[in-house]
Structure 1
Amino acid sequence: MPADAPTIVATSGGMKAGRRSRVAFAPLVEHAVELSGTTGRPKLVHLGTASGDQRWWNAELDEAAAVAGWDLRHVNLFSMPSVDDPEALLLEADVVWVGGGSVVNLLAVWRAHGLDEVFRRVWRAGVVLGGVSAGSICWHVGGTTDSFGPSLRAVTDGLALLPYGNGVHYDSEAERRPLVQRLVAEGVLPTTHCTDDGVGLVYRGTELVEAVSEVRGKGAYTVTRATGGPDQDDDGSARAVEERLEPRVLPGAR
C-alpha cells in the first residue's frame, strides 16, 4: 500500500536485541511501517548491499520478521541479482529497508544494476524508503563515511533524492561531528541533517518533517553554512552552525 506522499526514514538505528530471536525490529522500523499506511500484513524488502549481502544476516532478519508477523524479502546483488525483476519486487513492498556497511560500494553496485533510477521511481510511487547508516546516507547528496578506510572522508555522490547531506552516528564516533561541520563550512556538503544513534529523520517529499527516536535523550541536528556577521570566522571564511532538533520519542523506546 503506497504512502500518501514520497517518504524516507533515514536513521542511525532500527534494530535491537530480540527475545525469541537474536535481533528484532526496533521502533524506527516499526514507525516506517506505520508511515506506509498498510492495513494488512506488512511487506518489507531488505537490501544488504552495503555489507555484501551477507546471508547469515538475511537469516537473522528472517527470524525477526517471523516474530513480528511481517513478510520479508531480500534483494541480493552478489553474485547476481536474486530476483528477475528487482523493481517489481520493490514496488510491491510497503517498506524498503537498507542496511549499513560501505555506502561507497553500495552506490557503485546499485548504479551498475540501474537501481539508482529504480529507487527514484519506487520512492515516487509511495513505497517508504528507509535504512540505517549507509542505508541513510544513500538517499541524500552525501555524508561522511569510513568506506575508504579508518579515517572518515566525504562521499558526495549519493542518490540525492533528498537535497541535503546526512551525518550518521553523530554521538558515537568522535570524528563524525567535526568532519560534518568542516565539510558544510567548506561547501563540500549542503545543509546537513544528522542523527545520534537511535534517532531517525522523517522526510515527506524532500521536506524534513520530524525527528523521531527509539532511545531517550538522543538528538538530531541541522548543520548549515553561514557567512558574515557573528557566524563568520576571524579570517572571513564561512563557518558551520549547528542546531539541535529534539526528536519525538517513539512508543517502545528504551
Structure 2
Amino acid sequence: MPADQPTILATSGGYRYGERTRVEYDHLVHHAVALSGVSGRRPKVCVLGTASGDPRWFASELDEAARIAGFEQTHLHLFPMPNLDDIEGHLSAQDVIWVNGGSVANLLAVWDVHDLRPVFRRVWERGVVLAGVSAGSICWYQGGCTDSFGPQLRAVTNGLALLPYGNGVHYDSEARRRPTIHALVADGTLGVTHCTDDGVGIVYHGIQVVEAVTETPGKGAYVVARQPDGSVTEERIEPRLLG
C-alpha cells in the first residue's frame, strides 16, 4: 500500500530506551508508518544499516523494537554482500524504508557501488515512504555537513538529491553543527538548507515541505538560506508534537 505521492520523513530521532529492551521505536518511526497509509495488516518496514557497516547486533535490537511496535520488519544488508537477490523488488514491496545513522560518506559510497541511486528514486516515486535518522536523513538531500571524515565537520555534497536542499542534523545537540551549516550556506557550498534538532523530523510530499513534527517538546526545525547581500538567515519551523 504505497503512499499517495512521493514521501520523505527526514529526522534527527526515532529511537528511545525501552522498558524491557534497550531500544524501542519512538514517535517519528511510527509517523513514517502512518504516512504510508497502511491499514488492516502489519506495516512492512525495511531497515538499512549501511552507514554503520550493517552491525548485526543493532539489527537484532531493532527487530525487538519492531516486535513491540507490531511491524513486519526486514533488513537490507550490503556487508559482506547483499542479503537479497532482488533489492529493488524487495524495497518496492515495503511501506517504509528506514535508514540508520553513521557515516553518510561511507553510506553513499557503498550505495553507489551497488548502483542504488536510481533504485531509491524509483521506489520513492512509487510511493514507498523513505525515512531515516542522521546519515539516514542527509542521504536524501543534496548534502549537508558530516563527521564522516573526522572530528572536524566537513561538507558532503553527493547526496541522492531527491530533495533539492542541504540538510543539517543534530542541530541543537552538537555545538559545531549550526555554525558549520551557516558557513557552508554562506560560501555557497550548500544551498537552502533544512535542519532538525534532535527528536524532530521534516515531512515532504515530492520536494515540498508539508510540516515539521517532533517527539520531543520544545525542539525545532529550521531553514537556513543565503540572502542576496551575502548574509545568512535562519527561519524556525515550529513542529507539531507527535503522540
Scaled by the length of structure 1, what TM-score is found? 0.94
1:121 aligns with 2:122: yes
1:26 aligns with 2:26: yes
For these two proteins, the number of residue pairs brought into alignment is: 242
What pairs with 1:191-230 in structure 2 (closer than 5 Å)? 191-228=192-229
| SS at 1:184 equivalent | helix
**For 1:134-177, what per-residue CA distance to the aligned partner results, in whole angstroms no more than 9, with x for missing partners?**
00000000000000001000000000000000000000101100
Following superposition, the deviation at residue 20 of structure 1 comes to 2.5
Q: Which residue of 2 aligns with 1:243?
A: 235
* Structure with greater Cα Rg: 1
1:190 aligns with 2:191: yes
Following superposition, the deviation at residue 185 of structure 1 comes to 1.1
In structure 2, give the amino acid aligned to 1:183: L
Cα distance in 1 for partners of 2:203, 2:157 equals: 21
Return 5+ residue gaps in structure 1 as ranges: 229-237
1:132 aligns with 2:124: no
Q: Which residue of 2 aligns with 1:15?
A: 15
Larger mean CA deviation between 14-23 and 118-127 belongs to: 14-23
Cα distance in 2 for partners of 1:138, 1:115 equals: 12
Cα distance in 1 for partners of 2:70, 2:19 equals: 14
**For 1:204-245, what per-residue CA distance to the aligned partner results, in whole angstroms no more than 9, with x for missing partners?**
0000110000000001000011023xxxxxxxxx12100111
**For 1:55-98, what per-residue CA distance to the aligned partner results, in whole angstroms no more than 9, with x for missing partners?**
00000011111111110000000000011111111001000000
Cα distance in 2 for partners of 1:95, 1:196 equals: 22
What pairs with 1:24-173 in structure 2 (closer than 5 Å)? 24-39=24-39, 40-173=41-174
Aligned-pair Cα RMSD in Å: 0.6
Cα distance in 1 for partners of 2:212, 2:140 equals: 16
Cα distance in 2 for partners of 1:32, 1:101 equals: 20
Cα distance in 2 for partners of 1:96, 1:192 equals: 23
Q: Is the 8 A contact 1:13 1:197 kept in 2?
A: yes
| SS at 2:164 equivalent | coil
| SS at 1:56 equivalent | helix
Cα distance in 1 for partners of 2:74, 2:115 equals: 19
Cα distance in 1 for partners of 2:21, 2:124 equals: 31
**For 1:40-59, what per-residue CA distance to the aligned partner results, in whole angstroms no more than 9, with x for missing partners?**
21000000000000000000
Cα distance in 2 for partners of 1:209, 1:183 equals: 25
| SS at 2:85 equivalent | coil
Q: Is the 8 A contact 1:21 1:67 kept in 2?
A: no
Cα distance in 1 for partners of 2:174, 2:86 equals: 38
Instruction: State percent identity of aligned pairs.
Output: 65
Cα distance in 2 for partners of 1:79, 1:196 equals: 33
| SS at 2:132 equivalent | strand
Following superposition, the deviation at residue 99 of structure 1 comes to 0.2
Following superposition, the deviation at residue 186 of structure 1 comes to 1.0
In structure 1, give the amino acid aligned to 2:2: P
Q: Which residue of 2 aligns with 1:5?
A: 5
Cα distance in 1 for partners of 2:210, 2:189 equals: 24
Cα distance in 2 for partners of 1:210, 1:43 equals: 24
In structure 2, give the amino acid aligned to 1:247: P
After TM superposition, the runs of 4+ consecutive aligned structure 1 residues lying more than 6 A away are: none
Cα distance in 2 for partners of 1:165, 1:209 equals: 17
